[in-house]
Amino acid sequence: MGSFNNELATLALAIWIVGSALFVIAIAFISYGEIKSADGGPIPWATLEMRAIIAFGIPLVILILGWAFFGSAAKRP
């Protein structure tokens, strides 16, 4: 049973990594359009900063919550 839990944790981590990467890419794709449309004008740094915080913060919060609820409860050998 312990082997199954390790495999499940590894799968969950892999899914989290792929999901986080796709989320960051999606935020970058959305932001790129605004930067491109600035046409030499000022780049909206405040908007980009907020989106960067969202893009990296949400996956980090999910990782911390996942560890708090599932990782800390795992049995140690």
- 26-62, pLDDT tens digit by residue? 888 888 887 777 776 777 788 888 888 888 888 888 8
Residue 76: its pLDDT value, please? 55
Q: 59 lies in a domain?
A: yes
Nearest CA-CA partner of 60 in 25, 23, 28 = 23
d(Cα 37, Cα 40) in Å, to the nearest integer? 8
Q: 76 lies in a domain?
A: no
Q: Which H or E run contains 65?
A: helix 45-66
Q: 77 lies in a domain?
A: no
Q: 34 lies in a domain?
A: yes
Q: 37 lies in a domain?
A: yes
Write out the DSSP string of 3-59. Answer: HHHHHHHHHHHHHHHHHHHHHHHHHHHHHHHHHHHTTTS---HHHHHHHHHHHHHHH
Residue 63: its pLDDT value, please? 82
